[in-house]
Amino acid sequence: MGPELLFSLILVGVLAGVMGALFGIGGGMLIVPILVIFYGLAAKDAAAISLVGIVATSVGASAVYVDKGISNIRLGLYLEITTVIGAIAGVIFATFISNTALTLIFSLVLVYSGIRMILNPELAVEPKDCNGKYCFTYYDEVRKKNVGYEVQNVKSGAAMCTVAGVVASMTGVGGGAIKVPIMNLHMHVPIKAAAATSNYMIGITAFAGAILYFVMGDVPLAFAGAVAVGGFLGSMVGTKITSFVDGKSLRRYFSVLLFFIAAVMAIDAGGLF
């Protein structure tokens, strides 16, 4: 692999890593189209490389966010169980349901989520009488104070994550793009905690896919290694940026990202890549 190719792949990983660490998404929506369109890779190879990149982003970002106490590990573990159940169902459904219509519906859901995130203010609930309930705290470096919140609608949020798992499994993308709005809008988790928790979760989700590709020998190692290095470096940069972006702005930028992802998915449903 030549130095220009290596450097460009690392750069792709860095971009995905920055986005991933900031917003709690995997970056697959960026990596896969770039690898297919600009590098001419087969979709399957691009997906395998993307999954390794997502794991690298997750590992890098989680190392920082878990250490800082922003990632809600307990909530992440719980929601990930229902997501995995949904993913299993999605793998089975995918054998007899076309995913074109589902991809289009999903892109509409992302647009709706983006609009709600712009129009609706964040409604984090102050923890009160938290005996056995889902109450958590993290230190916000922008506001320079501890932010406490009580997670709301836990059961319905978990059920929505099951649906998210089905959709993500069938369409191949979108784990973080669905889960962050679910946590922020429906469960009233502050956006920074939601993104950090999603970062923790997506690595586990990506593991299930990546290990299969790896065991089958379907991961282009050099490409995956370069993207992974970039993803890790990018995640370090992304976590630094988070420490000086306030939650309100982050929500607004996340909405724009949701619109972008929706557009990419709609184009994908049209068969461009």
Partner 1 sequence: MGEAVLWLGILVLVVSPILGVAVSMLSLFRERDLKWAGVALLLIIMTAVATVISSLF
Binding site for partner 1 (CB under 8 A): 52, 55-56, 58-59, 62, 73-74, 77-78, 80-81, 84-85, 87-88, 91-92, 94-95, 203-204, 206-212, 214, 219, 221-222, 224-225, 228
Phi and psi (nearest 5°) for 215?
-65, -35
Phi and psi (nearest 5°) for 115?
-65, -45
Q: Count Cβ atoms below 10 Å from residue 133 Cβ, excluding itself.
A: 12
Min dist CB 130 to partner 1, Å, is 15
Residue 44 or 143: the one with the smaller Cβ distance to partner 1 is 44
Alpha carbons within 13 angstroms on the beta-carbon side of residue 131 total 1
Phi and psi (nearest 5°) for 17?
-65, -40
Residue position matching structure tokens 């970062």: 199
Following CA atoms 205, 79, 20, 13 in sequence, which dihedral angle do they give, to the nearest 10 degrees? -10
Residue 15 or 219: the one with the smaller Cβ distance to partner 1 is 219
CA–centroid distance for 250 within its chain: 14
Min dist CB 76 to partner 1, Å, is 9
Cβ 255 vs Cβ 93: under 8 Å? no
Residue 14 or 250: the one with the smaller Cβ distance to partner 1 is 14
Min dist CB 168 to partner 1, Å, is 12
Residue 226 or 262: the one with the smaller Cβ distance to partner 1 is 226
Residue 123 or 211: the one with the smaller Cβ distance to partner 1 is 211
With H, G, I as helix, E, B as strand and everything else as coil, classify residue 78.
Answer: helix
Min dist CB 83 to partner 1, Å, is 9
Min dist CB 175 to partner 1, Å, is 13
